[in-house]
Structure 1
Amino acid sequence: MPDIDPLTTVWSDDEVAVMHAMRDWAVTFDELQRHLSSWIGLPGSDANALGQIVWADQAGEPLSPAQLARRIGMTSGATSVLLDRLEGAGHVTRHRESADRRRVTLRPTESARAESGRFLAFSGAEIAATVRDTDPEETRVVLAFLRRMTDAAASANGRLQAR
């Protein structure tokens, strides 16, 4: 852990602006999540979980229930109840795809994929255009910075979890 006290460090105007911009992105992204919830007709926690399941599936890295629980900040029991609701509503299926039949993976149904796609097509145009219009070198710099920030936040989360 670096020896820096975020409360007593003197920050430059640009460093403060970066932190504010990241906060603004997080708040705005959270609002998009709430719109997804309304769009799909699910409670916020269910829509968040479904989004995580869809994104992981699209990345070719389907989640287990335990991984989902960590991502959405719920206990395994609460996540199991949530998954029962999503499965009952026809949004998610549980699969045993591994040689280890105890390992369960979560997959969105075709209808959930399609509805998520419709939402993204409607809501994501400005974000997609911004990403496409960004200079490739700027994209690489931003990506490297965001990866470091994600690693730093994950480290802090691990330290807090161990506390």
Structure 2
Amino acid sequence: MTDADPLVEAWSAAQVEVMHGLRDWVVGFTALNQHLAEWLRLPASDANALGQIIWAAESGAPLSPVRLARQIGMTTGATTILLNRLEAAGHLVRSRESADRRRVTLRPAPASREHARGFLAVAGAEIADVLRTTSPAELRTVVAFLGRITGAAAAADHRLSADAAST
């Protein structure tokens, strides 16, 4: 960690543009999540969680409740309540797939997965087009940068959590 003050640092125009671009992506992603919530007729927090569960299951790395809580920025207790709502509404299946039967795996219910897939077919067209038309070299550069900036954010979060726990 450096001693630089980010508020007075002399940032280049490109660095400022990157930070604005990242902010704009978060704003755009949040708006798309709100549309997903409306599509699924769920509160935004529930739709966000269900989206994370679907994405993780589709990528072959299904989430546990604890990992989901970290990803959506909720306590494990609040996440349990949210998961209970999703399960009661038929959007979610909890299973024990590990040799450690205490570990719970979250999977989307097939109907919810297909309903969300229908939304993505409509809402994800522009994003898919950008991904398809971006060169592999540019994608590798973006992935490397996002890995570093996400790692920096995670390190700051860890440090701040440790500082809060020690006070």
Q: TM-score, normalised by structure 1?
A: 0.96
**How do 1:56-75 and structure 2 match up within 5 A?**
56-75=56-75
* C-alpha distance in structure 2 between counterparts of 1:67 and 1:138, whole Å: 30
Q: Partner letter of residue 121 of structure 1?
A: A
Give the secondary-structure state (helix, strand or coil) at the position aligned to 1:160: helix
* C-alpha distance in structure 2 between counterparts of 1:136 and 1:101, whole Å: 41
Give the secondary-structure state (helix, strand or coil) at the position aligned to 1:148: helix
* C-alpha distance in structure 2 between counterparts of 1:15 and 1:76, whole Å: 36
Match of 2:88 in 1: 88
* C-alpha distance in structure 2 between counterparts of 1:101 and 1:135, whole Å: 44
Match of 2:122 in 1: 122
* C-alpha distance in structure 2 between counterparts of 1:100 and 1:3, whole Å: 44
Q: Partner letter of residue 60 of structure 1?
A: G
Q: Partner letter of residue 140 of structure 1?
A: R
Match of 1:45 in 2: 45
TM-superposed CA distance for 1:5, in Å, is 2.2
Q: Partner letter of residue 19 of structure 1?
A: M
* C-alpha distance in structure 1 between counterparts of 2:136 and 2:97, whole Å: 38
Give the secondary-structure state (helix, strand or coil) at the position aligned to 1:9: coil
Match of 2:146 in 1: 146
Give the secondary-structure state (helix, strand or coil) at the position aligned to 2:5: coil
CA RMSD in angstroms comes to 1.0
Match of 1:5 in 2: 5
Match of 1:160 in 2: 160
Q: Which runs of 5+ in 2 are unaligned?
A: none
Match of 1:136 in 2: 136
Deviation digits for residues 2-55 of structure 1 (CA, Å, limit 9, x no counterpart): 343212210111111111111111111110011100000000110011011111
* C-alpha distance in structure 2 between counterparts of 1:75 and 1:137, whole Å: 38
* C-alpha distance in structure 2 between counterparts of 1:138 and 1:10, whole Å: 27
* C-alpha distance in structure 2 between counterparts of 1:146 and 1:66, whole Å: 23
Structure 1 moving runs of 4+ over 2 Å = 2-5
Q: How many percent of aligned residue pairs carry the same amino acid?
A: 60
TM-superposed CA distance for 1:63, in Å, is 0.9
TM-superposed CA distance for 1:61, in Å, is 1.0
Q: TM-score, normalised by structure 2?
A: 0.94
